[in-house]
Amino acid sequence: MKRIVNLRINGLNYEIALEPRRTLAEALRYDLGLTGTKIGCSIGDCGACTVLIDGVPSFSCLVLAVEAEGHEIMTIEGVAEGGKLHPVQQSFVEIGAIQCGFCTPGMVLTALAFLKDNPDPSDAQIRRAISGNLCRCTGYQKIVDAIKDAAKRMREKQGVL
């Protein structure tokens, strides 16, 4: 039986009727049209469906939408501000860390949360941080480079402010 669920996504409130079996990934894509979140394996292996729940990277395919009620959710649609790409996104574009793009939304969100706690990470720390997000195109090197580059941009930006 469907029930009313209140979700807060990218700073906006949504009230939707859902079956309890609806996963957060399905609710985002099929009920709310937020198709930036990708569904790859549906079993918590690939990380393509990563969203931030209260700032923590989480598989949206293994979280029931009803369980996400009362939490702050951020999807890839909420990363850019006012039409301007976030430094992480800008670095991914410029370094060439995107090929087919399917892993990119999850990868960007994982990187975003990681850089908040680690403003100046080593390659090894980056590789460990993205070890739950699989990419079949890039061989990861460009992604690691992009996250390093983004860290630098964010540090510089903070230095200016």
Indicate if the alpha-carbon torsion angle 137, 134, 103, 86 is positive or negative: negative
141-160 and 104-117 helices cross at what angle (nearest 10)? 50
> Does residue 66 interact with other proteins by CB under 8 A?
yes
DSSP one-letter code for 85: -
DSSP one-letter code for 62: G
**Among residues 28, 29, 36, 50, which is the contact residue for other proteins, using CB under 8 A?**
50
Kindly compute the dihedral angle of the four CA atoms of residues 106, 55, 119, 136, in this order, to the nearest 10 degrees: -10
> Does residue 4 interact with other proteins by CB under 8 A?
no
Using CB under 8 A as the binding rule, the residues of this chain from 119 to 148 that contact other proteins are 128-133
**Among residues 4, 11, 15, 43, which is the contact residue for other proteins, using CB under 8 A?**
43
**Among residues 10, 35, 42, 99, which is the contact residue for other proteins, using CB under 8 A?**
42
Residues that bind other proteins (CB under 8 A): 1, 19-21, 23, 26, 42-45, 47, 50, 56-59, 61-64, 66-67, 110, 128-133
